[in-house]
């Protein structure tokens, strides 16, 4: 039977000592504002968080939200700091706010975000190791560790003979299994057999048009119709999605062998060494190279082993992703092995694409995790 998470405040001594340890390790402690501009969260977080955010509007019509997540405001703080572009780590402790049905909407989290480190595999290993240490801080010495790597899936999709629009769509939907399955079904059937929307003729006409001109035309039509935003998206974003449908609908059917290749890679499960070997074998048989992504996976495993972590107790799953759209590589979750609470105790991963979307001129490496303090405390109190 699952334990009810304890009510924890940010003054909790054990949580404070955890974050103090991060400060001693060189992570600067920060406290982003609770009230945040909503646009970055709406753009970057994904549908799961969008649907659970607490939104409000000021007198000028600008949208704000109660902070649903620390990663985005910490990244914004880094970009605004003198350290932007250089290696810098931050830690935090505080509440985030999400609608969770009947559960409390205020959740206390502690965590780490690391920016600018170019030793990608070593940084990933350090973040997971610190997450394991956070669980141990609460007496959970052998958490269940689940990992995945969106970078491996992205490399696989990039190696396939697909249009750019479909490559983007498959990677985007990796975190939403039902959507990904629908994508593969639609691709296999082909546009001709997949059912045509009432506006398919308009989409087909736009598919071969100049992208900028087509986007401007759709945006103008939406504006004439009086549409300004839908579900937090601007007219420009709605136009982009409409045009994406045109590109997706113009794609010929996907060979069954290619779909099988994707599904075989997604079905891989085992410890990281076993998984890397199995995916490499599938790729070699298909005549494609995933060496870069798999080399990073194997290097990360080596760094974890060097830290004394028994990688045989880590479960890699080819289809494992997390609900945030901003993840681009390694992802992980730590769970209570006794299932005393539902949901992860600690979770995070790599999000190298976020900082450019927040305004950085060049891509910057980024990786981090958040710990659910109430869940850790509930398990730690029930030893």
Q: How many CB atoms lie within 10 A of CB 147?
A: 25
pLDDT digits (tens, 9 = 90+) for 42-60: 888 766 777 889 999 999 9
Q: How far is the CA of 297 from the CAs of 66, 210, 226, in angstroms?
A: 36, 39, 49
Residue-level pLDDT at 323: 76
Half-sphere CA count of 66, side-chain side, radius 13 A: 12
Q: What is the spatial distance between Cα 334 and Cα 142, in angstroms, rounded to a whole number?
A: 10
Nearest to 360 by CA among 81, 88, 155: 81
User: What pLDDT score does 378 carry?
Assistant: 92
Per-residue model confidence as pLDDT tens digits over 74-122: 999 999 999 999 999 999 999 999 998 888 899 999 999 999 999 999 9
Please spell the DSSP secondary structure of 15-35, one letter per residue. HHHHHHHHHHTTPEE----SE
Residue 317 burial class via C-beta count within 10 angstroms: exposed 0-12, middle 13-18, buried 19 and up: middle
Q: How many CB atoms lie within 10 A of CB 335?
A: 21
pLDDT at 198: 44
Task: Measure Cα distances from 311 to 48, 114, 306 in Å.
Answer: 31, 23, 10
Retrieve residue 148's tokens.
């995945």
Spatial distance between the Cα atoms of 375 and 368, rounded to a whole number of angstroms: 19
pLDDT along the chain (383 residues), means of 10: 52 91 95 94 78 91 94 96 94 95 91 97 97 96 96 94 82 86 80 44 52 57 56 56 55 73 95 97 94 96 97 96 88 95 95 94 95 92 58
Q: What CA–CA distance (Å, rounded) separates 368 from 32?
A: 16
pLDDT for the residue numbered 169: 83
Global pTM value: 0.81
Confidence (pLDDT) at 345: 97
pLDDT for position 137: 96
pLDDT attached to residue 7? 59
State which H helix or E strand residue 285 sits in: helix 272-286
Q: What radius of gyration, in Å, describes the C-alpha atoms of the chain?
A: 22
- pLDDT score for 214: 53
Whole-number Cα distances in Å, 136 to 5, 6, 28, 140, 191: 17, 18, 22, 5, 52
Beta bridge mates, 94: 109
């Amino acid at each position: 039977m699952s334990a009810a998470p304890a009510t924890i405040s940010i003054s909790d001594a054990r949580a404070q000592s955890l974050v103090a340890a991060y400060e001693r390790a060189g992570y600067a402690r920060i406290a982003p504002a609770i009230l945040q501009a909503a646009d970055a969260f709406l753009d970057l977080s994904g549908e799961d968080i969008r649907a659970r955010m607490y939104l409000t509007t000021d007198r000028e019509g600008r949208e704000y939200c109660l902070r649903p997540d620390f990663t985005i405001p910490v990244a914004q703080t880094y970009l605004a700091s003198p350290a932007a572009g250089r290696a810098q780590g931050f830690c935090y402790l505080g509440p985030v706010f999400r609608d969770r049905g009947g559960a409390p909407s205020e959740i206390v989290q502690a965590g780490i975000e690391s920016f600018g480190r170019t030793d990608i595999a070593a940084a990933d290993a350090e973040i997971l190791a610190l997450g394991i240490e956070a669980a141990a801080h609460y007496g959970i010495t052998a958490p269940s560790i689940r990992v995945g790597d969106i970078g491996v899936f992205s490399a696989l999709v990039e190696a396939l003979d697909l249009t750019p629009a479909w490559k983007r769509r498959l990677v985007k939907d990796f975190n939403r299994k039902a959507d990904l399955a629908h994508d593969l079904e639609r691709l296999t059937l082909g546009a001709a057999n997949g059912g045509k929307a009432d506006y398919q003729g308009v989409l087909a006409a736009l598919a071969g048009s100049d992208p900028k001109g087509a986007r401007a035309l759709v945006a103008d039509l939406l504006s004439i119709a009086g549409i300004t935003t839908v579900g937090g998206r601007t007219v420009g974003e709605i136009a982009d999605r409409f045009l994406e449908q045109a590109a997706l609908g113009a794609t010929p059917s996907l060979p069954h062998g290619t779909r099988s290749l994707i599904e075989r890679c997604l079905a891989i499960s085992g410890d990281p060494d076993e998984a890397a070997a199995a995916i490499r074998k599938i790729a070699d048989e298909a005549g494609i190279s995933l060496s870069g992504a798999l080399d990073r996976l194997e290097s990360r495993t080596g760094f974890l082993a060097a830290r004394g972590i028994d990688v045989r107790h880590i479960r890699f799953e080819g289809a494992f992703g997390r609900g945030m759209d901003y993840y681009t590589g390694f992802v992980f979750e730590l769970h209570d092995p006794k299932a005393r609470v539902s949901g992860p105790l600690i979770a995070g991963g790599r999000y190298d694409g976020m900082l450019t979307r927040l305004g950085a001129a060049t891509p910057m490496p980024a990786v981090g995790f958040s710990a659910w303090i109430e869940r850790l405390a509930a398990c730690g109190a029930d030893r």
